[in-house]
């Protein structure tokens, strides 16, 4: 009898839960969609009126401010949102504005990470949406176009950051001059692992594989620096590979690395990235997961160091939905939504044991991560609870963040005080994900039912077939368009015509060759000393010119080339040290070198990304797992249908 009563009580309890969840009609969804659109235009028009051409709007002061590089960041970030909301006229106007005025050859230091996800990501997405938005695209699109050229120009300015001993990038570059002098070698994990979506897209569209390969090398390097527990720290020295911050988590400084393992694997059909993610997730679930929360732990010992939830971690349920694990995703999302209900927003830090916002971390800067996960999970499950959670977010923003000229950061979630900043991602991410949650018929949600056939230099191609992958700034990439341009796996970036000239770099020198080389150098140095004594009465310009010719000859030797390649092999390093020792024992060599250094400035080293990539390949410090690369079963899952079809599209378009 008691069991029957308990069963009935539980049944009635669950019925009450179902009844408490509001049902949404198509009319309700359209009304919420239109409200989000009005929210977007209130912020967008305020930016144009009060802040353009500055990077961001200050919604309390009603003016603008430069934050990331003085290139009208909000305008670029918001561009593809215009297309998604169907405003093709404004999209075309802004494209014309950007392509005619945007220049990135500026003497400014920028974040490599932020410039990649916001500028390159925004330009690539807008380029791929141009055809749909009615832009008069040039012949050869999507493999050519002004927005694509701008994106590649920026990438060329960022790629120098990867020229380190590990291949993991610096965090800052100067757009005009490269890595700033004295730049720190410490980079966060996300700042290393968040390039494969943008750089991979760029390679597939332009046919230049260097971007994708450099990004992959950085991912392999990072993966090979995981701890014995399979965990990743927060910051690492990109020259030595030493972890400088050893807290492991899925939040700030780490988050998008794991996001890009999943999204990169789907977008580019790279099973090895999915394998990396699955291996990392095993370690997360073992050491970090507690009651569907994810704690911060020591990467070497596994014990909890910070029992907190960070607002940035709210991306995680959305990533789990992409691999089909909606059950785990929903459990974790419920935890995050409870925090939202507690404050009306999610604070930057939330102490889980004390159930309260962290001191000095009580703000909410209009972040999109929670609504992103809600949108992706609703697309997977159709659970009406997610529509209600999305409306909760919409109501909070409208009530507490809205100002006469935009939407403001919440400085403290406990009392909803405002701060005078509206980051560009409010228009590129937060409003976009809210809009797509309620606009269930948007072309972004296409599950492969339709597409468009276009003519390209490589033949007919089908685009707009769905399966759009959002980068971490919510810029969507059409995966079908990436198969219209080049078949990258068959290309080889190495130039074998240079092999003979660089033979010593690859096979080394015999002992006799090295002895002969040293003997020739010694004889040349003696001749140089003799020449110096004969030209003492010449003018200084003639001295510099004559000796410059001799130094140029030296620079073309294998000795100098070996020295210019960092850590090529221990054998080569040992040979260099031996030669330097011999030279130091020869007073003639020292005198000549000292004399030359005084009168001739050192040649400025010109960065060559191809040489950098060849160095990575030759050193092969972090070899990829070939069995993972070919295991396409890793890409199969129980996710939403349009993602399952991506592997079919990959085979269909791979001509």
Q: Which pTM was predicted?
A: 0.79
The answer to whether the CB of 423 falls within 8 A of the CB of 365 is yes
Q: Are residues 402 and 518 in the same domain?
A: no
Q: Is 255 a catalytic residue?
A: yes
If one counts every other C-beta atom within 10 angstroms of the C-beta of residue 364, the result is 26
Helices 196-206 and 255-268 meet at what angle, rounded to 10?
A: 30
* Per-residue pLDDT at 324: 94
3-class state of residue 274 by DSSP: helix
pLDDT digits (tens, 9 = 90+) for 282-339: 999 999 999 999 999 999 999 999 999 999 999 999 999 999 999 999 999 999 999 9
In a shared domain, residues 318 and 460: yes
Binding residues: 472
Give the Cα separation of 403 and 174 in Å (integer). Answer: 35
Same domain, 636 and 518: no
- Cα angle 410-414-415, degrees, rounded to a multiple of 5: 70
Question: Within a domain: residue 618?
Answer: no
Give residue-wise pLDDT tens across range 554-590: 333 332 232 333 333 333 344 434 444 444 444 445 4
Structural domain includes residue 2? no
Domain hosting 590: range is 507-607
Catalytic residue among 56, 369, 391, 589: 369
- Binding-site residue set for Ca(2+): 472
Q: Which helix (H) or strand (E) holds 407?
A: strand 406-407
Domain CATH number, residue 629: 1.50.10.10
Q: Compute the distance between CA of residue 325 and CA of residue 640 in angstroms, rounded to an integer.
A: 11
pLDDT for 227 equals 98
Domain membership of residue 612 (yes or no) is: no
Q: Are residues 478 and 550 part of one domain?
A: no
Q: Provide the CA 532 distance to its chain's centre, in angstroms.
A: 54
Distance in angstroms (rounded) separating the CA atoms of residues 520 and 526? 10
The answer to whether residues 512 and 458 belong to one domain is no
Residue 642 has pLDDT above 70, yes or no: no
Shared domain check, 96 and 49: yes
Exposed (0-12), middle (13-18) or buried (19+): which is 620, by Cβ within 10 Å?
A: exposed
Contacts of 201 (CB under 8 A, 6+ apart): 124, 267, 477, 482
For residue 361, pLDDT beyond 80:
yes
Among the ranges 2-6, 167-171, 494-498, which has the highest mean pLDDT value?
Answer: 167-171
pLDDT of the residue at 22: 82
Q: With left for phi above 0 and alpha for psi between -120 and 50, is residue 233 left, alpha or beta?
A: beta
The structure tokens 């070996």 sit at 562
Rounded average pLDDT over 8-21: 51
Is residue 470 a part of any domain in this protein? yes
Helix residue ranges, H only, 47-145: 73-84, 88-101, 112-114, 121-129
The structure tokens listed for 518 are 């040293």
Q: Give the pLDDT of residue 626.
A: 81
- The one catalytic residue in 213, 247, 259, 348 is 348
**Could you tell me if residue 11 is inside a domain?**
no
Distance CA 482, CA 561 (A): 37
pLDDT above 50 (res 541) = no
Asked if residue 4 belongs to a domain, the reply is no
Question: DSSP secondary structure string, 599-643?
Answer: HSPPPPPPP-HHHHHHHHHHH-SS---HHHHT-GGGG--SS-HHH
Residue 524 is predicted with a pLDDT of 65
**Which residue in 204, 205, 178, 192 sits closest to 253, CA to CA?**
192
CA distance 569 to 207: 31
Separation CA 308–CA 349 (nearest Å): 6
**Is position 114 annotated as part of the catalytic site?**
yes
**In angstroms, rounded to a whole number, what is the distance separating the alpha carbons of residues 392 and 42?**
20
The answer on 644 and 512 residing in a single domain is no
Query: Annotated catalytic, 369?
Result: yes
Query: Which one is catalytic: 255, 429, 478, 589?
Result: 255
Which of 80, 114, 259, 272 is the catalytic position?
A: 114
Q: If you write DSSP's letter for every residue of 452-519 in order, what string do you get? A: EEEEETTEEEEE--S--EE-TT--EE-GGGGGSS--GGG-----GGGTTTTHHHHH---HHHHHHHHH
Count of C-beta atoms within a 10 Å radius of residue 511: 8
- Judged by average pLDDT, the poorest of 183-197, 200-214, 480-494 is 480-494
Residues 283, 202, single domain; the answer is yes
Distance from chain centroid for Cα 173: 15
Task: Summarize pLDDT for 390-411 with one digit per residue, the tens.
Answer: 999 999 999 999 999 999 999 9
The terminus-to-terminus CA distance of the chain in angstroms comes to 68
Alpha-carbon span 281 to 273, nearest angstrom: 12
Is position 418 within any domain? yes
Instruction: Give the pLDDT confidence score for residue 588 in this predicted structure.
Output: 45
Q: Is 603 a catalytic residue?
A: no
Element (H, E) at 147: helix 146-158
Shared domain check, 212 and 93:
yes
Q: In this structure, is the dihedral angle defined by the CA atoms of residues 486, 489, 493 and 495, taken in order, positive or negative?
A: negative
C-alpha–C-alpha distance, residues 223 and 230, integer Å: 9
What average pLDDT is seen over the chain? 84
Tally of CB atoms within 10 A around 324:
16
303 and 390 share a domain?
A: yes
Q: What is the DSSP letter of 422?
A: B
625 pLDDT higher than 90: no
| Residues 68, 97 within the same domain | yes
Q: Look at residue 16 and tell me if it is in a domain.
A: no
How many domains does the chain divide into?
2
Residue 171 and residue 188 in contact, taking contact as beta carbons nearer than 8 Å: yes
Let me know whether 372 and 464 are in one domain. Answer: yes
- Strand-pair partners of 243: 236
Q: Is 537 helix (H, G, I), strand (E, B) or coil?
A: coil
CA distance 283 to 232: 10
Confidence grade of residue 218 (pLDDT, cut at 50, 70, 90)? very high
User: Could you give the count of Cα atoms lying within 13 Å of 399 in the half-sphere of its Cβ?
Assistant: 12
């Amino acid at each position: 009898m008691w069991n029957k009563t308990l069963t009935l009580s539980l049944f009635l309890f669950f019925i009450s839960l179902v009844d408490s969840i509001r049902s949404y009609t198509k009319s309700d969804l359209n009304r919420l969609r239109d409200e989000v659109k009005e929210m977007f235009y209130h912020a967008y028009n305020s930016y144009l009126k009060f802040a353009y051409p500055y990077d961001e709007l200050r919604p309390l002061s009603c003016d603008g401010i430069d934050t990331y590089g003085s290139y009208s960041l909000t305008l670029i970030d918001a561009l593809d949102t215009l297309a998604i909301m169907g405003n093709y006229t404004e999209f075309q106007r802004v494209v014309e504005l950007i392509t005619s005025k945007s220049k990135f050859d500026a003497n400014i230091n920028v974040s490599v990470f932020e410039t990649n996800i916001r500028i390159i990501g925004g330009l690539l997405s807008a380029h791929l949406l141009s055809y749909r938005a009615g832009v008069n695209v040039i012949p050869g699109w999507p493999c050519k176009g002004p927005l694509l050229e701008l994106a590649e120009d920026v990438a060329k300015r960022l790629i120098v950051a990867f020229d380190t001993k590990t291949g993991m990038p610096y965090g800052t570059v100067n757009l005009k001059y490269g890595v700033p002098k004295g730049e720190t070698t410490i980079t966060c994990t996300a700042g290393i692992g968040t390039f494969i979506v943008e750089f991979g897209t760029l390679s597939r569209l332009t046919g230049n594989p260097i971007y994708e390969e450099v990004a992959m090398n950085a991912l392999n390097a990072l993966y090979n620096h995981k701890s014995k527990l399979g965990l990743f720290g927060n910051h690492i020295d990109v020259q030595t590979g030493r972890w400088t911050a050893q807290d492991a988590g899925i939040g700030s400084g780490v988050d998008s690395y794991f996001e890009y393992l999943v999204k990169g694997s789907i977008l580019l059909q790279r099973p090895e990235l999915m394998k990396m993610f699955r291996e990392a997730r095993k370690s997360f679930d073992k050491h970090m997961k507690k009651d569907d929360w994810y704690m911060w732990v020591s990467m070497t010992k596994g014990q909890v160091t910070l029992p907190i939830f960070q607002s940035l971690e709210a991306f995680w349920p959305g990533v789990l939905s992409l691999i089909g694990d909606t059950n785990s995703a929903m459990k974790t999302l419920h935890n995050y939504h409870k925090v939202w209900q507690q404050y009306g927003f999610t604070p930057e830090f939330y102490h889980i044991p004390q159930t309260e916002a962290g001191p000095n971390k009580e703000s909410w800067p209009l972040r999109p991560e929670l609504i992103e996960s809600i949108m992706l999970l609703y697309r997977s499950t159709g659970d009406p609870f997610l529509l209600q959670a999305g409306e909760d977010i919409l109501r909070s923003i409208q009530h507490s963040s809205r100002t006469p000229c935009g939407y403001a950061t919440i400085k403290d979630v406990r009392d909803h005080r405002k701060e005078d900043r509206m980051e560009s991602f409010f228009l590129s991410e937060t409003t976009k994900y809210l809009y797509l949650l309620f606009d269930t018929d948007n072309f972004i949600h296409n599950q492969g039912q339709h597409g468009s056939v276009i003519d390209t230099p490589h033949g007919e191609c089908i685009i707009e077939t769905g399966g759009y992958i959002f980068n971490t700034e919510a810029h969507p990439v059409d995966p079908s368009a990436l198969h219209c341009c080049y078949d990258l796996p068959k290309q080889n970036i190495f130039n074998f015509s240079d092999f003979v000239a660089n033979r010593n770099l690859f096979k080394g020198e015999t002992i006799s060759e090295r002895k002969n080389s040293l003997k020739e150098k010694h004889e040349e140095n003696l001749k140089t000393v003799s020449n110096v004594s004969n030209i003492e009465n010449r003018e200084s310009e003639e001295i510099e010119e004559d000796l410059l010719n001799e130094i140029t000859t030296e620079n073309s030797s294998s000795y100098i080339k070996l020295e210019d390649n960092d850590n090529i092999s221990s054998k080569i390093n040992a040979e260099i040290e031996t030669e330097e020792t011999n030279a130091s024992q020869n007073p003639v060599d020292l005198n000549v070198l000292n004399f030359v250094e005084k009168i001739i400035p050192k040649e400025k080293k010109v960065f060559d990304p191809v040489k950098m990539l060849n160095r990575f390949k030759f050193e092969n410090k972090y070899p990829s797992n070939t069995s993972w690369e070919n295991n396409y079963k890793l890409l199969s899952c129980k996710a939403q249908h349009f993602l399952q079809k991506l592997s079919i599209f990959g085979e269909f378009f791979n001509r």
